[in-house]
Amino acid sequence: MKTVSFERKTNETEIELSLGLHGSGKSEIRTGVGFLDHMLTLFSRHGNFDLTVICRGDVDVDDHHSTEDIGIVLGQAFLEALGDKRGIRRYGSTILPMDEALILTAVDFSGRPYLAFDAAMPSPKVGSFDTELVEEFWLGFVRNAGCTLHIRELAGTNTHHIIEGIFKSAARSLKEAVSADPEHAGEIPSTKGVL
């Protein structure tokens, strides 16, 4: 299992992150944003990623910088851990129910960053967390991981359930995409020969 570690320091946040792609789902998450801690903990568990995220951010302003910057660093960690992507499945998709919410996610580690985000948030906040930051997190992730990610809410009325469904579904899709493809071990998963 390859584990990568990153540090990012700006005037707004200081982040330490380590990621083991093929782990057991253990995590240590301390972002200063309670709801994001919850989402990253279940992301780690459902993806079987060993994940540590320690963030000291300007949450006295709001949660935006911490949430976006963690997405950026997590994306960088995935990109580094995957290397040339030799031997991975490349694609992953999941339809996940979370009570009344139903979420579809699909990912392609194509090297082309793109986010299609189609999820309505009935409430602008969950606790003190601004729900518009969910899209910002995933934008930061895809731009730095170099992947295409589609997130679509197929059903849902409870904002907490919708967001939780997004993180769980994305984790399972990512887990599938980064897993080894035994039929094409050691091969770049593209007819181009490079991703």
Beta strands across the sheet bearing 101-108: 91-98, 101-108, 148-155, 114-118
Residue 139 lies in a domain: yes
Total domain count for the chain?
1
Q: Is 61 within 8 Å of 32 (Cβ atoms)?
A: no
Kind plus residue range of the DSSP H or E element containing 133: helix 133-145
Residue 193 lies in a domain: no
What integer pLDDT is reported at residue 48 of this predicted model? Answer: 98
Could you tell me the CATH number of the domain that includes residue 8? 3.30.230.40
Tell me the C-alpha distance between 36 and 88, whole Å.
28
Full-model pTM = 0.97
Tell me the C-alpha distance between 61 and 70, whole Å.
16
Residue 195 lies in a domain: no
Residue-wise pLDDT for 9-62, tens only, equals 999 999 999 999 999 999 999 999 999 999 999 999 999 999 999 999 999 999
**Sheet strands (E) in the chain:** 3-9, 13-20, 27-30, 50-57, 91-98, 101-108, 114-118, 125-126, 129-130, 148-155
Residue-wise pLDDT for 108-156, tens only, equals 999 999 999 999 999 999 999 999 999 999 999 999 999 999 999 999 9
Tell me the C-alpha distance between 140 and 79, whole Å.
13
Residue 194 lies in a domain: no
Residue 32 lies in a domain: yes
Task: Return the biggest CA–CA distance within the chain.
Answer: 51
Which residues span the domain enclosing 103? 3-184
Residue 192 lies in a domain: no
Dump the DSSP string for 106-128.
Answer: EEE-SS--EEEEE---SSSEETT
